[in-house]
Chains A and B, each alone.
Chain A
């Protein structure tokens, strides 16, 4: 087992990353956790273009990242978002 000190910060935080991700969705889009699986852009009233911007702003704040426009456009669902954050921004879920 590697010592905690040599783990990347985001790996250390991995127990809370999913919670933070879920919380960002629930609070920004005003949905329950049960609604998140399979949730897609424009499935709920608050996930419109403005809601999308709010969601991205919240995720950037939570994970201390600045996302590329292409990734923001590709961020089309709850699952796709996790994939993008994991692959392109080293957020470990």
Chain B
């Protein structure tokens, strides 16, 4: 499905991003695994995936809250002189706060990482794609909160909704050069982010799902894989809910 493709994945240190790196490596893709913090465990994880799957898994470290750091990371990727076929933007932060407790600082930080940096990073990646006239794919990670709302997630939901808006306009502009842009909107997924949630909150979510269980990071990664693959060659400007039929 994605064998031989060279794909940049952000937010690779944990949760959905880390699982996406694993799933993509197992399916034959070469990966730039981007994380904000250099950790030996993560470097070892990438090395093991390389050996087991006979692909390249290159760790790249940069901070999505800092445009200079992003540029430095892109230069690391550029240095490898590999054709780039896709970008999976998983990196994000969640600053939960009830509406009356939201601060300007938290909103700015959320939008910097969840929206602005992802657009800036996409600009750089598209330019890398254009060096080889590659027809590629970009996927953003939105959230069902962007469409449904959620208590305590005004800022998070707003930033994830902004990503959908950005995705749609980018799809319009980049379609003519063969670059597809889509978004995935996970529901309640077993990940470090949801481990912080109270059991009551999770139980309430399960009551409104057609498939009443938490999703797995693998199930989200599989949708990214489809969108990165040529099987999705006529799919752009769409948001895919991975939420077990949440109503």
Contacts and interface: CB of A to CB of B under 8 A. Distances in A.
A60 B127 contact: yes
Nearest to A67: B127
A69 B120 contact: yes
Nearest to A58: B131
Nearest to A62: B131
A50 interface: yes
Interface string A51-93: 0011011101100001011000000000000000000000000
B130 A69 contact: no
Interface residues of B, number: 15
A60 B126 CA distance: 13
A12 to B, nearest CB: 21
Interface in B101-139: 120, 123-124, 126-128, 130-131
A60 B129 CA distance: 12
A60 B124 CA distance: 11
The binding surface of chain B is classed by DSSP as: helix
Interface string B163-178: 0000000000100110
Nearest to A28: B130
Contacts of A49: 173
A50 B176 contact: yes
Contact of A69 (B123, B173, B176, B177): B123
Nearest to B127: A57
A76 B182 CA distance: 31
Given A49-B173, A66-B74, A68-B71, A54 B124 contact: no
B79 to A, nearest CB: 9
Contacts of A57: 127-128, 130-131
A26 B20 CA distance: 41
A66 B124 CA distance: 8
B131 A61 contact: yes
14 contacts: A49-B173, A50-B173, A50-B177, A53-B126, A53-B127, A53-B177, A57-B128, A57-B130, A58-B131, A60-B78, A60-B127, A66-B71, A66-B78, A69-B120
Interface of B: 71, 74-75, 78, 120, 123-124, 126-128, 130-131, 173, 176-177
Interface of A: 49-50, 53-54, 56-58, 60-61, 66, 68-69
Given A50-B176, A68-B71, A69-B120, 4 more contacts: A53-B126, A54-B130, A57-B127, A66-B124
